[in-house]
Each structure stands twice: as structure tokens, then as C-alpha cells.
Structure 1
Amino acid sequence: MDDTKDLKDSKKLISDIQAQYPRFSKGQKLIAQYILSNYDKVAFMTACKLGDTVGVSESTVVRFANALGYSGYPKLQAALQELIKNKLTTVQRVEMANEYRDDYTILNKVLKSDMDNIRGTLEEIDKKAFEDSANRLLKAKKIYILGMRSSFAIAQYLGFYLDIILDNVHIIRMDMGDAFEQIVRIGEDDVLIAVSFPRYSKKSYQIVSFAKEKGTHIISLTDSLFAPVASIADNTLLVKSNMASFVDSLVPALSIANALIIAVGMKEKEDIKQHFDDLEQIWDKYSVYE
């Protein structure tokens, strides 16, 4: 089974479990009952942990995932994560982290999780969407970059470096007046990059919808095809952002931002070389750096 089908099927996962329940074996029924009552916890359990919790073998858990039509337990787990990604409260996320026994365990788990997320992003990202995004940025009359709450860190980083390469970049800021006032002149020759991660901001979706109505090309940098901004984007750059705890992993998003900056920069190599020559002279004259 391909990953796209697994992703789409997550919306009806709970109803599928309920419908198939009478046909499950005794052990599978125990798993089904636990998932229906605790799917937010199961989403972050290994197959072994889930088996131990309900009193069945790990192989029974794997067969349960197969019975639901998934190619393996990780695909079932991913579907559960899609279901809860935008529903978890901050308190629930903190509770998910109670297995972190000490500081080194935290360091180890978080760094390994980030590495897994980057690896997964590289394997699954739409290469054509990435290439088209870089080309669209070069052709754009004006580039708007949007990111709310924690996503603003990625938007600001992306905007900072794109602004060095290009001279038509505007970061939408919440401390600079209403967001709609900043994009009121947005049009079909422009590009809007929307960075959006759970819990998804309603305001982001409203701004992207407004830009879409104006005919603007939308590039979304997000973690799911179910993300509100992805549903109306022209190009979606999907990154893995599995939660280690109450803090989302933005490391893969930063890596994609880096790649996008370099891809645009290499297409403008001669222009940015002159630009950096000019900057070096300014930095030297005014002693900007040690």
C-alpha cells in the first residue's frame, strides 16, 4: 500500500475499526478497544509497547494493522498521529513526555527524532513541487512570507536570507499592524509562502484564502496534506514534524527553508556575488563584525 492512501485513510480509521470489530480475533479486539478509548496515546506507542499494554504479542499488533489494510504498524501509527495532530492540547502534549526520565534521555530522544524527521522528509518530499517553488520565487513580482506563532521563526529565517538574494520580499508580521493591511495589494504576479504547523492557526488559513482569491500563487510549508493551508496551496512542501513532546520539531522545516534559499541563490549566483561584495565593503567600513 502506498503512503498517500495510508494518509488519506486516516480520516476514517476510527469508523473502520468499529466496522471491522466483529471480525477481529480476541487479541485484536483488545487492541481495538484500547485504541478507540486511547488513540491519542497509541499514536506515540511502539508496537511492542501497545502489545504489552493490552496483553498481546507484538506480532498480534502487526497483524491488527494489516487487518485494517495498512502495510505495517508504522503506517497505522502515522494515521493515528494525523488524526490527533491538531487536537492535542498543550497539557496532553506535556503528559506524552512523562517517559523522559532524565536530561540525557531527553537529549537522545529529541535529536534522534529530529534526524528521523529529516530522513523522512527527504524520502517523501515532492521534488517537482520544490523545483517549481524555487522558480516561482524568482519570477514573482513580490514575495510574501507568513508564519504564525512558532512557525514565525521559520518564516523570519526564510525571509531574512531571501531578502539578501532578492529585493521584493515581505515578511508578514503581527506586530506591524493587521496582517490583511500588509497584503491588501497582493495579486496574481505575487507568491505567498505559508509556513504552518500544529496547532494550525485559523488566521493563517484566512490570510492564505484571501491571497488565493486574488490569484496569488501559494506555496505551503507544512507537515500534512490535511493542514488547512495545504488544501488551497498550489505547491506543498511536506515535512515530517512528529512531536517529541509539547514542542514540535521545526528542524526539518528549517532544512527545507535552507534548501529553498540555496536553490534560489544558485539561480542568481552572479547577482548575489556582487551583492555580497557590496555588503562586505559596508561591513568593513562600519566595523559590523569583529
Structure 2
Amino acid sequence: MDSTKDIVNKINDQYNMLSKGQKRLAAYIMDNYDKAVFLTATKLGEAVGVSESTVVRFAMNLGYKGYPEFQKSIEELVQGRLNKIEKMEVTYGHNSQSQILENVLAADAEKIKYTLEHTDGKAFEQAVDTLINARKVYIIGLRSCAPLASFLGFYFNMLLDNVLLINTNSTTEIFEQMLHIDKDDAIIGISFPRYSMRTLKALEFANNKNAAVITLTDNIHAPINLYSSCNLVAKSEMVSIVDSLVAPLSVINALVVAICMKQKEKVITTLEELERIWDEYQIYNNDEMNYLDSRSIEEFGLGDRNE
């Protein structure tokens, strides 16, 4: 019996043995579980017209150790029964537009904090070394992950010698672009729920060709980690029709900075050459950001090449 159904079955099994007040609680929860999930024991009691102690006894009569465990079971019920629009209504329905902005930004900040606290430093260092030493780096991220892959590909092309961004909607074309991948190469696959089967198949192919496989995903148990030797994890879920890509993008930013610091001389030479080309061919207006201004050099610790 899965936990999503557990609370419903427990209420049904125990219903005839419940007191009148507890039966009112049971009815309220079955009809308003989307609201009950946010209520403390005191507030739930007030909503039904019973005491806080009656709420706690009700939870314990159902077999829970206390109210927190009981509330967690309601959360699992909500997650199983509400679609994304309904979850958004529960979370944001009574908020003003400015409050929605505050809540989403605060939630994104929490995801970065969580990712930082649970990051695997050794895996990150392994990823940086693998990417630098690879003969060729392949990048794949499809559907909602395509912007992350494109951003990573843009900067990796400045830092590394041979980078291929796989960007196609055809599985056949994916394999055609990866035809020559081998043990001297590396591929970084980006996949967040709902996980792309094409990304999974691409990493399986790379793994079978003995290439180094690096993944960026939301969970250590994500499908693409079946084929990876180096897993980077970033929290992404949010109450919305979209995933939050803030924490994954921060991890990508960290990869770019770390590779810059590992190859200071090469990066400075590359950026100087790009500046010359941009200036010669008038790629940017004069008011565009200068990639090699003195402040940027100090911030990233590139310093004087002669130091």
C-alpha cells in the first residue's frame, strides 16, 4: 500500500470507532485536504470546531506518532491528487502579484541554498578535470533543458577547444552527431523532470562508447545517472507548470568559473582575441559590456599573467 492512499484507508478503517468530533475531522480532511495540509493542529481544530488535543488524538488513533507525521501524510495525499494548476491555486491563490514575486524568488533562493548544502564537492572537481582533459566535449539538454545546454555551450566554446552542442529534435540526428564519440571524449547531459528519454538514450550511447559521462539533474536517483560516472545535483522542483532552473544555472556558472581558474593563461588569451575580433568587426556597440575589463579580471582572480 503506497503512502498516498494510506491516510484515506486509515480513515476508512477507523471511521466507525471515531468520536463525533473526530468524525467531523475525518470528513473535513477528506473534503478539504488541500487546505488542511497548511493548517496547524490548533487551526485545524478551529476550522472543525474541536480542540487541539482532539486533533492530536485523532492523528494518533489513525496510527501516527503525532501531528507532524499525520500532516506529512496529508502532504503526500495532496501531491498525489492535485494537478499542477490546482497546486498553484493552493499555494498562490490568495496572494497578490507582488507576493507571488516574493514567494517565487524566496523559493528560488532556498533551492540554491539547498543545492549548496547538499553538493558533492569531489564530484564537481571531477567534472571540471574531466571536461578540461577531454579531447571533445559534447553537451545535450533537450526541451526545457535546452536553454541551460545552450548557455553552457556558449561559454564552453570560449574556454575549451572542441565543444559540440547537440541541439536537435530527432533521435537519429542525435546519434549521427555523436557517431565518433569515444573514450577520449566527455559528454555532459542535462535533464530535469519530466526527464527526456532522448537525453537518456544519448548518455547510454556515450557510456557504451566508453566516453566520460557527466550529468546535471535534480536527484541522485534520476534516470540519466544510470550511465554517469560524475553526478551534479541541483534542486529544481517548484509549485508551477515549470521547473525552477535557477540552481542548475548556478551550478553551470560554477563550472564556467572553475574552468576559467584552471586555465587562466588560455582564457585571457582567448578573451583578448575575441575582443580584437569583436572590435574589428563591430560585433558590439561601444556601450556593450566589455568581457575583459579590469574589474572582471580582478573579480575572477585572473590577475597579471606574469605573476
Question: TM-score normalised by the shorter chain: which range applies?
Answer: 0.7 to 0.9
Q: Is 2:181 the partner of 1:207? A: no
Describe the superposition over 1:181-223 as per-residue Cα deviations: whole angstroms up to 9, x where unpaired.
Answer: 1112221221111111111122221222121222222111111
- 1:252 deviation in Å? 0.5
- 1:224 deviation in Å? 1.3
Structure 1 gap segments, 5+ residues each: 1-10
Q: Is 2:228 the partner of 1:236? A: no
Amino acid at match of 1:174: T
**Aligned 8 A contact 1:51 1:60 in 2:** no
**Aligned 8 A contact 1:194 1:218 in 2:** yes
**Aligned 8 A contact 1:93 1:246 in 2:** no
Kindly tell me the number of residue pairs found equivalent between the two proteins: 267
Amino acid at match of 2:105: L
Separation of aligned partners in 2, 1:188 and 1:68: 53
Separation of aligned partners in 2, 1:231 and 1:69: 37
Q: Is 2:161 the partner of 1:167? A: yes
Per the normalisation by structure 1, the TM-score is 0.74
**Cα RMSD after superposing both structures:** 4.1
Residues 260 and 103 of structure 1: CA distance in aligned 2, closer, same or farther (over 3 Å): same
Q: Is 2:252 the partner of 1:257? A: yes
Q: Which has the higher contact order (CA 8 A, sep 6+)?
A: 1
Q: How does 1:126-275 map to 2 (within 5 A)?
A: 126-174=120-168, 178-275=173-270
**Aligned 8 A contact 2:123 2:231 in 1:** yes
- 1:225 deviation in Å? 2.2
Specify the SS of the correspondent of 1:229.
helix
- 1:131 deviation in Å? 0.7
Describe the superposition over 1:97-129 as per-residue Cα deviations: whole angstroms up to 9, x where unpaired.
Answer: 552532101111110000100011100011111
What corresponds to 1:122 in structure 2?
Answer: 116
Per the normalisation by structure 2, the TM-score is 0.70
Separation of aligned partners in 2, 1:12 and 1:145: 38
Separation of aligned partners in 2, 1:209 and 1:266: 31
Separation of aligned partners in 1, 2:275 and 2:169: 31
Specify the SS of the correspondent of 2:207.
helix
Specify the SS of the correspondent of 1:113.
helix
Separation of aligned partners in 2, 1:191 and 1:249: 26
Residues 34 and 144 of structure 1: CA distance in aligned 2, closer, same or farther (over 3 Å): farther
**Aligned 8 A contact 1:243 1:249 in 2:** yes
Residues 282 and 34 of structure 1: CA distance in aligned 2, closer, same or farther (over 3 Å): same
Q: Is 2:279 the partner of 1:284? A: yes
Q: How does 1:26-41 map to 2 (within 5 A)?
A: none
Q: Is 2:40 the partner of 1:48? A: yes
**Aligned 8 A contact 1:145 1:170 in 2:** yes
Residues 288 and 209 of structure 1: CA distance in aligned 2, closer, same or farther (over 3 Å): same
Q: Is 2:104 the partner of 1:110? A: yes
Describe the superposition over 1:33-74 as per-residue Cα deviations: whole angstroms up to 9, x where unpaired.
Answer: 969x999x69x954639973996959959x98xx8799x77x
Describe the superposition over 1:214-257 as per-residue Cα deviations: whole angstroms up to 9, x where unpaired.
Answer: 22221111111232112332111111113131121100010000
**Aligned 8 A contact 2:85 2:240 in 1:** no
Residues 116 and 229 of structure 1: CA distance in aligned 2, closer, same or farther (over 3 Å): same
